[in-house]
Amino acid sequence: MADPRTPAVRLAVLGSPIAHSLSPRLHLAAYDVLGLDWSYEAVECTGAELADLVAGLGSGWRGLSLTMPLKRDVLPLLDHVDDTARLAGAANTLVQEPDAAGRATRRGHNTDVAGIVRALGDAGVAGATDAVVLGAGSTARSALVALRDLGAARVAVAARRPERARELDALADELGLALRIVPLHDASTVLAGADTAISTLPGDAASEVALPARLAADAALLDVTYAPWPTGIADAWERAGGRVVPGIDMLVQQALIQVRLFVGGDAERAVADEGRVLAAMRASVGRHPGRPWTGA
């Protein structure tokens, strides 16, 4: 007889370090609303350990959330990769399910792109035309895909190492984006005319970016950082009259899409009572609509 204390479905977020992750709060809040006795834990895992961990997932496992650099490392371990994850070069979600023969198959998804689009949408950003991405790392790829989905035609990337940003040329071509690359210290030259900006720089690294004397009217900045908060660039952007979208909103929204995938296997299909699920997820990390984000 199965141990009644053992959840029927297991999930986890992997990374190193991972103890700080807010993902368990978000997911457990969602499954509580949905009445699902599912477990979701934070598991310390490095890239060197990932293959063995994935290979050892038993039938009780439904999936994994992945942090960098595991979002890249997991790609060769997957049976199927969705198009968004292919473009972004990163899968932050692994969904495990049996095939027709009962063998475990593992599908990779990227929910960061949808998280960016939905977080900006919540702030009233329904579309973008001239956009800027600060940073040229892995998250910049997801930002470019999201800006394509928002209708952007032109994107500038401001990077500490412009030569590294040239790796984004092929992606921009595939997405149909006109790409301009500038050094990070010249970011103000492209931010001046931007209607949308996304900072993918870690921590408070973007605080060194000099803003233009004037921002475009209603210019929006999504800073993917959520701790520490507020960041220097978020403070400066608000003082310059722009709209700031904190990274916690992206985190919550991408987690909601993960919940859809884990529960129903479909990123586009809402879960039951999704409004209440989303409210519970936000509350679990102290994100209350209408109030400034001050940290979890």
Q: Which residues contact 49 (CB under 8 A, 6 or more apart)?
A: none
**30 part of the active site:** no
User: In this structure, what token pair is assigned to residue 2?
Assistant: 């199965």
Cα 37 from Cα 53, distance rounded (Å):
23
Cα 161 from Cα 224, distance rounded (Å):
20
Active site residue: 71, 107, 109, 287, which one? 71
Residues with catalytic roles: 71
